[in-house]
Amino acid sequence: MRTLNTAEINYLTTYGTGYTATLGDLGPPTSGNPNATGAGLIDSIISGGAATATTSLKSGYKFTYNSGTADPSGRIDTYSITATPITVGTTGTNSYYTDQSAVIRQNSTATAGSTDSPLGG
């Protein structure tokens, strides 16, 4: 989750167009140099392997990306990411949530959300 937050911040500052529309936008470019639909900020596994990907599986978790609504200029100012165990109790016990605030939250009984307790808090 921390890696994804850092990648989103790097994307925001590099491209100046807000946050990504998809998880895949953070992944490797299909060819050539990094760009807005293949920024090369995370690997192809966690980015979902395609520019249009909004989910991925890694380390026993399913990551789901939701971008905020773009403003009239196309800028996206919010996002949220959840990570849930693929098999609860086997691949993980907690669910995690983060958004543009970069606070990572957890829930051990349901899918984590914006009102759950932050890690370490």
Q: In 3-state terms, what secondary structure has residue 105?
A: strand
CA 27: distance to chain centroid?
Answer: 11
H and E: helices and strands count for the chain: 1, 5
pLDDT in tens, 10-22: 999 999 999 999 9
Closest CA to 19 of 76, 69, 68: 76
Mean pLDDT of the chain: 96
pLDDT in tens, 72-113: 999 999 999 999 999 999 999 999 999 999 999 999 999 999
User: Does the pTM exceed 0.85?
Assistant: yes
Residue 9 tokens, joined? 């911040």
Beta bridge partners of 118: 105
